[in-house]
Amino acid sequence: EPSAKVIDGKSVAKQIKEEISAEVSKLKEEIGVVPGLAVVLVGDGKDSATYVRNKKKACEPVGINSFEVHLPDDASEEELLKFISGFNGDLSVHGILVQLPLLSNILNAVTIEKDVDGFHPLNIGRLAMQGREPLFVPCTPKRCIGLLHRYGVEIKGKTAVVIGQSNIVGMPAALLLQKEDATVPTVHSRTMNPEEITRQADIIISAVGQPNMVRDNWIKPDAVIIDVGINPVEDASSPRGYRLVGDVCYEEACKIAAAVTPVPGGVGPMTIATLLSNTPSSAKRAYNIK
Ligand code: NDP
């Protein structure tokens, strides 16, 4: 019988959005500042256009101003830098997102005060160092830790295994868990016997991109599992011909874990909320408001 608690990202996202709206209204009333989020999109990729459109659509209901620049695939670096430095100096902009087809040194160009994606090497460096705090933390891992907090999961002193070590999810997730005094082994594509390592884990965060990779024999009884993976698998019964599953075999995890995030409905719905929350925080910092 399934016994795991289902971690509900949708309801947490709703709470976060309400908190952001309240924070934005307060900023408006107290100092007349409307937080602004700028998006610089390069290339014609369908996925990144959707991502950017969703971010933009999410700003309006919580009262954040949104700005956008869309450049073609063959835009020059010089042109791109011109827009970024324009937003760096623009007082109505408090957060800048750069959506590029490839990660590049352009990420260094966003001033760290407005790096709401948290991808600037200085922000990552501060995240890794003892006694230093980043100005922003990458959103997806921040969300994973946020879910653990909101569900009252103890992190300090626990073994938390991160599967995946990408710059945008796995690596910063491991650093965040270390900052919270967990012991953090990581598993990647060349790890031998990964299930022996994950079986030690009180907490598993998986960000791989392999459907149903984490089976019941990878999981310690009563572990807490955060599944970041979003993987399409063929499904003739769905009108689209596919459905989305996580990296973790959900049905099996439900029988052995203490709590688990569903896919979809776990980490995914919080993407936008977490990202938005960085923009009013940035505006508050710019005006020295607690
Ligand atoms: P990447 O492809 O950049 O990284 C995948 C990581 O998984 C790599 O570190 C890779 O190891 C590791 N890996 C690959 N195969 C295996 C394996 N068989 N066993 C163990 N580790 C393996 O992906 P991202 O980090 O960008 O994203 C991961 C997943 O999360 C994707 O499914 C993506 O769609 C999803 N995602 C979801 C988000 C959300 O909002 N929910 C946001 C961002 C991503 P190595 O380093 O050795 O190559």
pLDDT computed for residue 210 by the predictor: 98
Residue 273 three-state SS: helix
pLDDT one-digit tens code per residue, 181-232: 999 999 999 999 999 999 999 999 999 999 999 999 999 999 999 999 999 9
Token output for 218: 């990878």
The predicted model gives 86-105 an average pLDDT of 87
Mean pLDDT of 37-44: 89
DSSP 180-248: TT-B--EE-TT-SSHHHHHTT-SEEEE----TT-B-GGGS-TT-EEEE---EEEE-TTSTTSEEEE-SB
My answer on whether omega of the bond before 121 falls inside 30° of 0, hence cis, is: no
Tokens describing residue 252: 């099996």
- Cα of 247 to ligand 1 centre, how many Å? 9
Mean pLDDT value across residues 46-74: 87
Catalytic site includes residue 55: yes
Catalytic residue among 55, 114, 179, 284: 55
Q: Please give the distance, rounded to the nearest whole angstrom, from the Cα atom of residue 166 to the centre of ligand 1.
A: 6
Does 110 have pLDDT greater than 90?
yes
**Average pLDDT rounded to a whole number, residues 78-82:** 92
Tokens of 63: 């009262």
Where do we find the tokens 């399409």? 232
Pick the atom of ligand 1 nearest to 270's CA: 40
* Eight-state DSSP code of residue 26: H
Two structure tokens written together for 162: 């991160």
Would the pLDDT of 274 be above 60?
Answer: yes
200 is catalytic: no
In contact, 277 and 193? CB cutoff 8 Å = no
CA dihedral sign, ordered 217, 221, 226, 231 = positive
Residue 47 CB–ligand 1 contact under 6 Å: no
The neighbour count for residue 2, using CB atoms within 10 Å, is: 13
Report how far ligand 1's centroid is from the alpha carbon of 148 (Å): 20
Q: What is the value of ipTM here, to two decimals?
A: 0.98
- Bridge partners of 226, per DSSP, are 205
C-alpha distance from residue 254 to each of 1, 5, 144, 235 (Å): 8, 8, 18, 21
> Which is catalytic among the residues 99, 115, 202, 284?
99
Q: How far, in Å, from the CA of 7 to the mean position of ligand 1?
A: 21
- Tokens 């993407």 sit on residue: 271
Go through the chain and tell me how many residues it has. 290
Is residue 51 very low, low, confident or very high in pLDDT (cuts 50, 70, 90)?
confident
- Give the single-character DSSP code of 159: B
* Backbone φ and ψ of 258, nearest 5°: -80, -35
| Interatomic CA distance for residues 204 and 225, integer angstroms | 5
In the predicted structure, residue 102 carries a pLDDT above the cut 70: no
Mean pLDDT within 156-163: 99
Give residue 236's pLDDT: 96
Mean pLDDT taken over the chain? 93
What's the whole-model pTM score?
0.94
CB 249 within 8 A of CB 260: no
Task: Please tell me the predicted confidence (pLDDT) of residue 104.
Answer: 66
Render pLDDT for 115-155 as a digit per residue (tens, 0 to 9): 999 999 999 999 999 999 999 999 999 999 999 999 999 99
pLDDT tens digits along 219-271: 999 999 999 999 999 999 999 999 999 999 999 999 999 999 999 999 988 87
Question: C-alpha distances in angstroms, 109 versus 18, 81, 83, 161, 178?
Answer: 32, 7, 10, 33, 28
State the Cα–Cα distance between residues 173 and 147, nearest whole angstrom: 13
99 carries an active-site annotation? yes
Q: Is 165 in the pocket of ligand 1 (CB under 6 A)?
A: yes
